[in-house]
Amino acid sequence: LFIEKLVTKIWEPVTKEYLEAYNESMKFSAEELFELHSKNRMRYYQYPGVNMNMLPSAGCPYRFKNGVLAGCSMCDYQSEQAKAQGSLLALRKKNPELYAKAIKTAFQNSRGIGAEPNLFELISGYDTLDANEFPDEVYDQLYSNNELFKGKPFKYIVETRASSINSGKLNLLKSKLGNRLRVSIEFGVEVGDQWIRNHWLNKDILDKEIIDAVACIHEVGYKATGDVIIGIPGLTEQQSIKLFVDTVTWLDSLGIDDIVSLPLNRKEYTLQGLMYKQLKDNPRLKEVGIAQEEHTGLPWLFTVVEALYQAITARPELAKKINIAQLSSSLNSVKNDICYNQSRDCKCVENITSALQQFHIKKDISILEDLRNSFEKDQCYLEYKELLAKQENSGDIPETISLIGVEMAKILWPGDEDILNELEYECNNKGEGSVT
C-alpha cells in the first residue's frame, strides 16, 4: 500500500533509534537490563474519575513488523520512548519474566505499592492482548496477587487492537483478572469506512474484525469501547464530519457500549505531522483549503462541534455513549498540537473547549445547540465558512487523498513513477463493501 510505504518512511529515523537501542541492549545480560529498567517510572495521567496508566513495554507490536516501525498513520504514541522500548524488546527476548517484572516495577515506582485506585483505571500498553507486547508473564506479575491496588477500582479499561480480540484471549484475560471484575475493552475503530481506515490510516483492520470484536467482548460479559477520530488527516472538514457521523451511527447499531471521540491532534511522526512539515505552504493544496499554513493537518474546533451535534441529532441515544478526549495537549504522552479555530488564542477556542468538557460530563445536547447558535456571531466562523467553500473543490475522498499523496510523493520519492501508479490504482479502486 502507498500509505504503508509513506509511514515506513516517516518512521525511518525512529526505527534507527529503536534498533540501535535494541542491538546495544542485547549486549547486556537480562539481569543487567532489568537493573537498568527497574528505576523507570510509568507515565501516568489523571483525569476526573479515571487514571491512565501507560505501562512501559517493547512498543506496539503492530507498529514493529518486518524489522521496521510503521503502524497507523495518524498515531505517534511512541517516538519519544523509542530508546527505552528498543531496550525492553531486548529484555523481553532474553527473559520474559524479568521483562514483566520491569513493567510492574515501573507501575509501582509511579503509583506506589498498593496504590489508591480511582473509579476507572486504564492499565494498558498499546495492544494489551497481543502476547508479543504482554506475554502471560506480564499478566501474572500484574494481577496474580492482587497487589497493584489497595482494594479494587470500579472498572478496569484495557486497550488493544480489534484484530487481537477473540474469545480465547478474552477468557485468558478473565482468568487472570478474576471473574467478577468489570472490564472495558477499548480498541481503535478510527473510521467506519474500511478503505479509508486501511488505505489512508494504515490501520489494517477490516469491518468484520470490528463487528466480531464487539460480539466477542459482549459474549464474555465485558463492555466494548471504540475510539473514533474527528478529523481524518488531510480530508476536508465536511468529509470528516460525515465520516464521524457515519462511523458512530454504525458503531451504535453494532451495540457498542462507549465511544471515545478523539479530535485529531498533530504529532511529529504522523501523516498530519508530515503534511504540516512538508506541505503547509503547498500552492496546489492551498488552493483547495487542504494546506492551511500553521493549521495544516488539524481539524477546526467548529468541525468537532458539528460532528458531535450531527451524530447525536441523528441518534439521540448516542449522547450517553460519546466521550470526548484530547481536548488538551498536556494530557498526552507525546508532544502534540490540538485543534483550534482561526487562531489558537481566540476566545472562541476557550469557550468551545470548556463547553465540550461540560458536554463530556453532562451528555446534554442543548450544550452543543447553544454553542452552535453562538457561532454566527463569531468572526472565526466566517473564516471557517470560507474555508468550507474552498474545500468543496478538492473532489471526493479518493480524489482528495490522491491530491495529497501526489504532493507528498513528489517530495519523498521524486521521479518515482511506480509509487504514483500505486497511489492512483488504490484511489481509483476504492473498494466496495465498506459500511459507509
346 binds, among ligand SF4, Zn ion, none (CB under 5 to 8 A by kind): Zn ion
Name residues whose C-beta falls within 8 Å of residue 8's C-beta, 6 or more positions apart in sequence: 15, 68, 69, 70
Residue whose CB is less far from ligand SF4, 77 or 359 = 77
Q: Which of residues 41-80 bind Zn ion (CB under 5 A)?
A: none
Q: Which of residues 242-301 bind ligand SF4 (CB under 6 A)?
A: none
For Zn ion, how many residues bind (rule: CB under 5 A)?
4
Shortest distance (Å) from residue 333 CB to ligand SF4: 11
Pick the binder of ligand SF4 from 188, 226, 234, 273 (CB under 6 A).
188
117 binds, among Zn ion, ligand SF4, none (CB under 5 to 8 A by kind): none
From 71-79, 100-108, 293-301, 340-348, give the range in contact with Zn ion by CB under 5 A. Answer: 340-348
341 binds, among Zn ion, ligand SF4, none (CB under 5 to 8 A by kind): Zn ion
Pattern 105-134, ligand SF4, x by CB under 6 A: ---------------------xx-------
Pick the binder of ligand SF4 from 71, 192, 226, 297 (CB under 6 A).
71
Q: State yes or no: residue 21 binds Zn ion (CB under 5 A).
A: no
Number of H helices, E strands in the chain: 18, 10
Q: State yes or no: residue 124 binds Zn ion (CB under 5 A).
A: no
Q: Which of residues 49-68 bind ligand SF4 (CB under 6 A)?
A: 60, 62-63
Q: Which of residues 308-337 bind ligand SF4 (CB under 6 A)?
A: none
| 119 in Cβ contact with 155 (< 8 Å) | yes
- Phi first, then psi, for residue 186 (nearest 5°) are -105, 130
Q: How many alpha carbons fall within 13 Å on the CB side of residue 83? A: 5
Hey, what's the torsion of the CAs at 14, 16, 22, 23, to 10 degrees? -170
Q: Is the dihedral of CA 234, 237, 240, 242 positive or negative?
A: negative
Residue 141 gets which letter from DSSP? Answer: H
Pattern 150-169, ligand SF4, x by CB under 6 A: -----------x--------
Q: State yes or no: residue 11 binds ligand SF4 (CB under 6 A).
A: no
- Measuring CA to CA, how many Å separate 179 from each of 33, 190, 280, 328, 359? 35, 30, 52, 36, 34
From 65-73, 216-224, 275-283, 373-381, give the range in contact with Zn ion by CB under 5 A. Answer: 373-381
Exposure pattern of 369-395 as b/e (b: 16+ CB <10 Å)?
eebeeebeebebbeebeebbebbeebe
| 369 in Cβ contact with 309 (< 8 Å) | yes
- Measuring CA to CA, how many Å separate 144 from each of 106, 108, 153, 160, 391? 17, 15, 16, 21, 55
Distance of CA 278 to the CA centre of its chain: 22
Footprint on this chain of Zn ion (rule: CB under 5 A): 341, 346, 348, 380
Footprint on this chain of ligand SF4 (rule: CB under 6 A): 60, 62-63, 71-72, 75, 77, 126-127, 161, 188
